[in-house]
Structures are given as structure tokens and as C-alpha cells.
Structure 1
């Protein structure tokens, strides 16, 4: 029915959990939903160099949306955020507080700044149309927003680094959140970003659209897997939107059929009662389809789209890692060029080489120096001193860039493992909810039709 697109689009998802993967249940708390198996009891000898290391668990919940300042123009919605945790960074095992959407935005944006190598989950859009029409205070909109924010905090709680952030702790615990926000902006964690040689290079040198010259095979495979996963999610989203549309049409068709059967019952006086029962069954089945659309298919589509956005955040980290490697390659090439120029001047001063044999660029540089009157040995010595200082600066910059690139690559590999665990947990949860909703639909439908079949069989038609 769904056409050729209905193929196995989740071939990049593995469903088996690795043996002893560090997700065993914690003694003091056993979460029931997937993805929270965050244990510190795993053996270090069994943990790979890029496997996530857990220091405890964090189980979060967003609930109880309340409209604050309801009768003013500054009205907003606050949400109760709660958690259960055994992480040592928290001062209580059951922190809770009320936060508004802007607080979630601040948390997300600053986590992305503080942890650039981490896959920080995205937030839902602000839905500007609802803000214009005033529907942002409707129960339906607040519930959708609550679910989106709940999923956002779930993803942070599943991350072994983000869950231990001091900003996350303050988000759940602090009674002076606005003070924390101002302090965090004024004194962000980590070293100050200094203006180094990279910042002084031209935009042409560090072109964000340039390609890495020596790509790492590990990250090529990683990017290919991300491409396949996002393509699978997009295909599934398209197919299930089609399913939703057809289910909506069927809902209306069964309702219209029920009305028609009820009208027929008024005309056929001998079987009016049976036809009315049949009409009621059709109405019940139409209601079941509507309930499935609202409570199963729609949440599934929202979760699909959210997971696709989450994967985009993972892709952004991969792109940033490539940029770090590109910075290293460009700096290395720049250092090689400066070193070659310094060697050329040294050879000329020593009388070991002239312009010949140095290529067109060397010849043109010599001619330009001659025109400016800077072709004497004194000028060359001064230029060599400047080049020596530049070489030292570039050498330090290359060393720093190399360390940064290696560190970022290792962090990206760990992020891949963390994202894989989170992805598997969400896929299992999402597809389980979809299956449960479909099972509920067919079970209730069977009960309805089983009740009406004996009534229909009592109809006698004279031939």
C-alpha cells in the first residue's frame, strides 16, 4: 500500500546491546525506560578507550505546565522539572524547580558553548504562529511543549558529560537561577579565548568550505552512517505522514458510513435495531482510528522529527572536528611556506643560490625587493629575523592545533559511542510505543466487531 519506499530503512540501527556495556542497573534505583542503564559498576578492563564512562545516573522529568502572570502582557508558561540521581555533583537525590522555556534555551546554548565537542540535543522551535495567535497557552500546545522539553532533558541525562555539568545541576537545584545565568555569562567556564596566530590569518587561508586533505577513515565511516540514518528517518517520516493522511481519510469515511447506515435503519423498520448497533460500531471504530492518530501516530512523527534534529547536532560535531583538522593542515602548510622563504633568503645571503632555480615566485619576489630597494643583505637579514619570529609563532600554533585536533577527534569518537547508545534507546522506546498503540487499536477493534457480528447474523432476509 505504501509503495516502493516501504523498505527496511533502519539497517544502520543495531538492536543488540553489547555484553557488559556499562548499562547495568544501579543498586539504589532501577529505571524502567531504556537508555538509563548508567552504571559505575562496570569493570575498567572491559571498557574501550572511546566507550562512555558513567559516574552515576540521572533520571529527569518535565511536568505540570502552569501559566504564570496570567492576566498580564508578560504571561508565560513554567514547567516543573524534577530528577532522581546519585551523582555526587548534586546536593540532593531528588532536585526540582520550575523553569520557563527561555531557561531551557539558555541551558542549551551555554552547554553548546561550554562543551563544543559534545552532541548537545536541540530544542523544539518556538512556533511563532502560536505566539501571534495566542494559542501558546492552549492545553494542547503546552502539552506538546512539555513533551519536547521532557525529551530534551532526557537526552542530557543520558550523556555522561552533560549530566555532570554544573549548569545542569543549577538548572535543577538553584533557587537563584537568574543570578546563576548572569554569573555564567560574565564568567564562563574554561580558559579565555586568546587572539592567536589562527585568528590573525585571513579568511582565505582558513576557508570554512575547504575540504580536509587527509581525511580519517574512521570519521568518513561515521559520516556515512549518519547520512544513512538521517535518510532512513526522512523516508520513515514521509511514509508515516502518508499513513496518517490515509488514516484520517478512513476516520472520516467510517463516520460517514455510520451516518448512512443509521439513515438506512429508519427506512428498514424490520432491522432498525440491528442497523443502529452496526452504525454505533462504525462510529466506535472511527473514534478508535482518531484516537490512534492523536495518541500514537502523531507522537511517533514528532519523535521521528526530533530524532532527526538530534542527528543533525551529531553531524555538526563531525563538521567541527573536520574544521579542527583543516586548521591544522592550513597552519602546517603556512609554516612550510614561511620556512621555505626563510631558507631562500638564507641561501641568497650565503651566496649559495640566486633567483635562478627558485621558480617564478622567487624571481618575482627578488625583482619586487629590488624595486623597493630591499634587495641588500641588511634588508634580507632583517626580514629573516621577522621570519624566524613568525616561524616560532607558527610552530607553537601548529603544536597547539595538533593537540587540539587529536583531543577533539578522541572526544568525537566518544560522542559517537554515546550517541549510538542514546539512539538505540530512543528507537526502542519510539517503536515500542508505536507497536503498543497499533496493538491497542486492533485489540479494541476486534472486540467491537466481535460484539456486532452476532447481532448482524440475526438479520433475516426474505428471498
Structure 2
């Protein structure tokens, strides 16, 4: 691993925060000098103009840099195979739909239908249909984190109502959550390891999930207490530079995203307040136009213009609320998931270092214990002879055996 990969990014200066574009990547080189002189690709390796002029991006919308010849050659194959890959290789399809509201005496909640179609041998049937509520999805994610601690588990949408949403049973909120839960299961389905997890199988197939949840609760609590006992009071000596750089990058990245989230929510709030004022302001010009006959036409035009502004502002607010904010929150939750994975790695390292220290202490205590035993035997020799055995023959017998024991101790030492 190069020195640049192990170096942590510099802290932000106190004069002002850096932009995201200035943030160093944790696995990037610290300076351009280490990369050597810039390389210019030959004309044979460049993309044709007809392809280069197109907006090349990944299926998720991420733009791809085509200036590198290596990335350009692999990009074409990736774009050509992406459409056929899902259909030919996928053997597990999961969808979340049909939300229903359940009203009970103690609580009111929403359930979603989870439909599974598969050809895997791990499933007894080719198709399943069960209903799950949000806490069932949360249970699944916790189980995946416990059983797969080294994997990054996709985040769930936040349980509590976000700002600006009053009714968590409204159609808009329920539909937004359904889309997020559907994306959560699809990401697990596409994962080569998580999709074969036993708890995921039970989540998709079990009719009574609560009965399965109760199994292993006592064992889980005991294991959690033991982990806290082992790693709770221990501090890491030093985190490896590579993971320290990633942790610092995630902290800075989360800070930037949190700032963007707060600003976006404030913008939406001000837009909605401005929209209310515009809706009250537009009819004033219409009323005014009815009173002023000569100014009727321009005043009606101003009123219509204000109405168009209201429509455009309403669409803009809806786009930010439904498209921008959920994606931004998803990035924030993904960053938190990555932090949790790093914390688990630190717990494993802390447990490893604690056991190494325990072994070292035992090795140090072993010679001291041998010396203390020899001194105790030597010091107790006169008292044993004088108090227990008054017979001279017994005294000689004891002295002889004590000398043999001391010689054996010296030989072992």
C-alpha cells in the first residue's frame, strides 16, 4: 500500500469549511507529484466522437469520466451488458406494494405486501406473498447487522416523521416509505451474500414472523452484554491509518451532507411560506382589475403571471420534497451505516488487543509465581522441622526432599 493511501486527510481549517470538491478522497494519493507526469492517451484509445458526445453515465445517474482510456474501454462493455445482466442472472425478485392501514384498540399501523418470486433451491415454493410492517423491516436489518458484521447493510428510511409531514398515514408519506422499503429489499436481493442470509429467507417466507422473532432473544441479550463487557472499557491503541482516513472522510462527508439537508429544508419552508403569500396576492390584482376598467387588461395579466409563479413554485417544492430530500437523507443514512461498520471493526480490534495484553500479563506473572513458591518453601523449612517433626530422622528426610525440590526448580528455571 502506498504512502498516499495510508495518509489521513488534513483537518478543515478554522477560517472556513472546504467544499466537497476540495475534500481529499481517503484512498487517493496525497499529492499529484506522487502520481508522476500526466499521461495523454493515444488517439487510438479515445472514444469516437459520436459516442464521446453522448451523456455517458451509470444506470443510477452517476456521470462517468471518459477521459481515461481504461475506463472508456470498460464503460462500453458495462453499458451494453447492464440491460441483459439482470434478466439473465437474477434468480430472486422481491417487490413491496399494496400498503394497508390497520386500526386496532392499542395502535394504528401500516402493513405492506412483500411478494417474492424465485428459482433458488433454498426456497420451498417459487412464489411467496406476506405482509410486513415497518418494525419487521427494522428487525431484518438488525439481524443482518448481527449476522454479517463485516458487510455494509443498506439503510432503512427513518422511522419517525420527517419535518413538514404532519400525518404519517397520508397517501404521500405512505407511498414515499413504500418506495424506500422496496429499494431496501431490492438492494439486499442484489447482494451476493446478504440475499442468502437465513433471516432474509424467513422474512420473505414466514407467515408468522413474530414467533420467529422470539427465538434467541435471551441468547442475543447475553451475547450483547458479553461484547459490551469485553470492549466497553477498552480504548484502541491506534487505528490503522487506512481506516482512520476513511473515518475522517466519513465525518467530514456527513457534516457537509447535514449542512445541505438543513439548508434544503429551510429553502422548502421559505418556498411554502412564499407560496401562501403569492396565492393571497394574486386575487388582489384580479379584484383591482374589476374596479379599474382602463387598467383591467394589464392587471389581469399580472394576476395570471402570479398564478403561473404559484404553479411553478409549487412544482419546485414538490420536486425537492419528493426527489431531492429523500436521496439526500439516503446518503446521510448510508454514511452512518459505514460508520457503524468501522465501529464494529474497532470493537474486534479492541477485543484482540485486550486479549494480547491479558496473555502478556499472564506470561509476566508466571516467573513471579515460581519464585514466590520457592521462597515460601524455603522460609517454612525451620518451622516445619521444629513444630511438626521432633524426630531427627524425620528432619533429615524433610531436608533431603526439600533439596531435591529446589534442584528441580533450578533445573526447570
TM-score bucket (shorter structure): 0.5 to 0.7
Q: What does residue 300 of structure 1 align with?
A: 324
Q: What does residue 115 of structure 1 align with?
A: 148
Q: What does residue 182 of structure 1 align with?
A: 211
Higher relative contact order at CA 8 Å, sep ≥6: structure 1 or structure 2? 1
1:391-430 equivalences in 2 (<5 Å): none
- Distance verdict in 2 for CA 1:118–1:10, change over 3 Å: farther
Give the secondary-structure state (helix, strand or coil) at the position aligned to 1:137.
coil
Is 2:96 the partner of 1:62? yes
Is 2:375 the partner of 1:338? no
Q: What does residue 265 of structure 1 align with?
A: 289
- Distance verdict in 2 for CA 1:158–1:217, change over 3 Å: farther
Partners of 1:297 and 1:306 lie apart in 2 by 13
Whether the 8 Å contact between 2:130 and 2:207 is mirrored in structure 1 is no
Q: What does residue 233 of structure 1 align with?
A: 257
Give the secondary-structure state (helix, strand or coil) at the position aligned to 2:82.
coil
Q: What does residue 247 of structure 1 align with?
A: 271
Whether the 8 Å contact between 1:10 and 1:232 is mirrored in structure 2 is no
Whether the 8 Å contact between 1:9 and 1:235 is mirrored in structure 2 is no
Q: What displacement does 1:185 show?
A: 4.4
- Distance verdict in 2 for CA 1:74–1:267, change over 3 Å: closer
Whether the 8 Å contact between 1:9 and 1:232 is mirrored in structure 2 is no
Q: Please, which of 182, 205, 211 is the counterpart of residue 235 of structure 2?
A: 211
Q: What does residue 406 of structure 1 align with?
A: none
Q: What displacement does 1:287 show?
A: 2.1
Q: What displacement does 1:84 show?
A: 6.2
Partners of 2:309 and 2:339 lie apart in 1 by 43
- Distance verdict in 2 for CA 1:7–1:337, change over 3 Å: closer
Q: What does residue 351 of structure 2 align with?
A: 327
Is 2:90 the partner of 1:25? no
**What are the superposed Cα offsets for residues 165-217 of structure 1, whole Å, 9 maximum, x if unpaired?**
23323333x2x421x553464369xxx88x99x95x995xx452543214222
Give the secondary-structure state (helix, strand or coil) at the position aligned to 1:228.
helix
Whether the 8 Å contact between 1:9 and 1:236 is mirrored in structure 2 is no
1:355-394 equivalences in 2 (<5 Å): none
Q: What does residue 40 of structure 2 align with?
A: none
Q: What displacement does 1:90 show?
A: 5.0
Q: For structure 1, which segment, 227-236 or 316-325, has the greater mean C-alpha deviation from structure 2 after superposition? A: 227-236
Q: What does residue 393 of structure 2 align with?
A: none
- Distance verdict in 2 for CA 1:113–1:286, change over 3 Å: same
- Distance verdict in 2 for CA 1:217–1:127, change over 3 Å: closer
Listed as ranges, the gaps of 5+ residues in structure 1 are 31-38, 41-55, 355-376, 382-463
Partners of 2:212 and 2:252 lie apart in 1 by 42
Aligned residues: 315
Give the secondary-structure state (helix, strand or coil) at the position aligned to 1:236.
helix
Is 2:199 the partner of 1:167? yes
- Distance verdict in 2 for CA 1:95–1:291, change over 3 Å: farther
Give the secondary-structure state (helix, strand or coil) at the position aligned to 1:177.
coil
Give the secondary-structure state (helix, strand or coil) at the position aligned to 2:152.
coil
- Distance verdict in 2 for CA 1:26–1:147, change over 3 Å: closer
Q: What displacement does 1:244 show?
A: 1.7
Give the secondary-structure state (helix, strand or coil) at the position aligned to 2:270.
helix
Q: What displacement does 1:320 show?
A: 1.3
Q: What displacement does 1:286 show?
A: 0.8
Partners of 1:28 and 1:92 lie apart in 2 by 24
The structure whose Rg is larger is 2
Partners of 1:291 and 1:85 lie apart in 2 by 40
Q: Please, which of 88, 110, 115 is the counterpart of residue 77 of structure 1?
A: 110
Give the secondary-structure state (helix, strand or coil) at the position aligned to 1:270.
coil
When normalised by structure 1's length, the TM-score is 0.56
Listed as ranges, the gaps of 5+ residues in structure 2 are 1-15, 26-61, 66-70, 379-400, 406-413
Is 2:320 the partner of 1:287? no
Q: Please, which of 116, 123, 137 is the counterpart of residue 169 of structure 2?
A: 137
Partners of 1:341 and 1:60 lie apart in 2 by 59
Partners of 1:261 and 1:233 lie apart in 2 by 42
Give the RMSD, CA atoms, in angstroms: 4.3
Whether the 8 Å contact between 2:93 and 2:116 is mirrored in structure 1 is yes
Q: What displacement does 1:326 show?
A: 1.0
